[in-house]
Amino acid sequence: MRNFFLIIRKYNFFIAFLLLQGISVFLLVKNNSYQREVVVSFSNQITGKIYAAYADVTDYLTLGITNRLLAEENARLRKADSNSFYDKSFKLIKVNDTLYEQQYEYISARVINNSYTKVNNYLTLDAGKNKGIQRDMAVISSTGVVGIVNDVSEHFCTVISALNSKTRISSMIKKNGYFGSTIWSGGSPQSGSLLDIPSHAKVAVGDTVVTTSFSLYPQNIMVGKVAEIGTSGESFKEIKVKLSTDFQNISYVYIVRNLLKTERDTLEAKLNANDQ
Amino acid sequence: MISDILINIVRFFLLIFLQVLVLDQLEISGPVNGYFNAYLYILFILMLPVNINKLFLLFLSFITGLTIDLFTGTPGMHASASLVIAFLRPSFLHVIAPREGYESTVRLTMQGMGGSTFLVYAGVMTFVHHLSLLLIEAFNFLNFFDLLLRVLTCSVFTMVLIVMSQILSQRSKGGAES
């Protein structure tokens, strides 16, 4: 305490100067609008910087809580995202015509699983019993054949891809009607083989190959184009077909419902029964 | 001693009136406005006795500046600038003093100190005061060189008035100093 007074005594001139100068500055800032404005804006800058630095620090401290809140929000948004929903609606394209009776209905579906690298490839679609899908329905895309429905669950169905060693697609050369079977025996997902075309049939590279109505597909669905013509044995050509459907890039397909299938099956079953 | 106090009181009022009623009323319009403001009142602070109590010096300077502020409506501005020269005055007098120091009876006038010493003393003090004052008025360092030019021109103007007042009081020796 004694030292304190000694210091005050020693520096009394300087302290008095600071004191009076402080009063002057106080009066200056208090009573002169321009100087007050400068001081206020300057002090606002300083306090603003201090608050910003404080916020930087507290931001780090609350990072854990913020992360948790963001994760919760992400989960909530992900739940609301359209990818999380099973599309219950489906569109049926029906044409009412008095002259022509509707035979085929098309049900759109999304490809949710797809393989093309194996020998036996399958697709999974997001349509099932709830949309009236049944075994052996044909599946096509906007560019051509895709496969045949193999198994159906409530919401999904599996499809035997055209890229499957078991697949035989009854096909014909569109321009002259010679028909055979398109098969795929592994290898490139873009090329299949058309068998059983008689060797006298006129076929050129680039000819269009489409489905016949003999099999489960509707007639005239695009299979592909003739890419290469060879011979197998004496009586048949072996034709390489470039498949029109790009199985490596397929996301939406149509499932074909044949409204007259039961009638046809019953009739054909009788035929088989007669034979036996 | 009594007359010394009386002389200073008279000088205080005289300089305040001169400053407020004459010098502050001068208006030079045009581009040189603000370049020729004289602040002669600081002569009171400069001429206070050499052996005055330092705290009392500060106090008197503060009062002087504040009085001017009351008339100009700028509380704190002249008070602050006056305090700066009052704070520097003892040290600066010590620096420019002759080797043996000032006699306590010496008068801080042109006659008492010698012409050149007085000019240095008054000149530096005037410059410091004007620099402080204009800086406080501007309250920033933008256009600092323009401000410096104003400080110089105003200082010259004030110095001219100070020297004139010294010559006048020297002529009327024995009369009231102004």
ipTM score of complex:
0.83
Interface test with B, best of A12, A18, A20, A42 (most B CBs within 10 A): A20
B69 to chain A nearest CA, in Å? 10
Question: Across chain A, where does the E strand assignment appear?
Answer: 104-114, 120-125, 138-140, 145-152, 157-164, 168-173, 179-183, 191-198, 208-211, 222-232, 236-243, 252-258
A3 to chain B nearest CA, in Å? 21
Return the number of other C-beta atoms located less than 10 Å from residue A229's C-beta: 15
> Searching chain B, which residue's CA lies closest to the CA of residue A28?
B76
Cα–Cα separations (whole angstroms), residue B77 to A28, A36, B63, B80, B178: 6, 13, 12, 5, 24
> Searching chain A, which residue's CA lies closest to the CA of residue B55?
A13
A161-205 pLDDT, tens per residue? 999 888 889 999 999 889 999 999 888 888 899 988 888 888 889
Q: What value does the CA radius of gyration of chain A take, rounded to a whole number of Å?
A: 40
Interchain CB contact of A23 with B (< 8 Å)? yes
> Searching chain B, which residue's CA lies closest to the CA of residue A23?
B76
Q: How far apart are CA B107 and CA B50, in angstroms?
A: 7
Cβ atoms of A275 and A161 within 8 Å: the answer is no
pLDDT in tens, chain B (178 residues): 678 889 899 999 999 999 988 888 877 766 667 778 889 999 999 999 888 888 999 999 999 999 999 888 888 899 999 999 999 999 998 888 877 777 777 888 888 888 888 999 999 999 999 999 999 988 888 888 888 999 999 999 999 999 999 888 877 665 444 4
User: In chain B, which residues have their Cβ closer than 8 Å to the Cβ of A28?
Assistant: 74-77, 80, 136
Q: Where are the domains of chain B?
A: 2-25+35-177
> What stretches of B28-143 show up as alpha helix (H) in DSSP?
42-46, 54-72, 77-96, 110-113, 115-138
Chain B residues touching chain A at CB-CB below 8 Å? 54-55, 58-59, 62, 65-66, 69, 74-77, 79-80, 83-84, 86-87, 90, 136, 139-140
CB contact under 8 A, A35 and B86: no
3-state helix, strand, coil in chain A (%, to 5): 35, 30, 35
Cα angle A22, A25, A27; round to 5 = 110
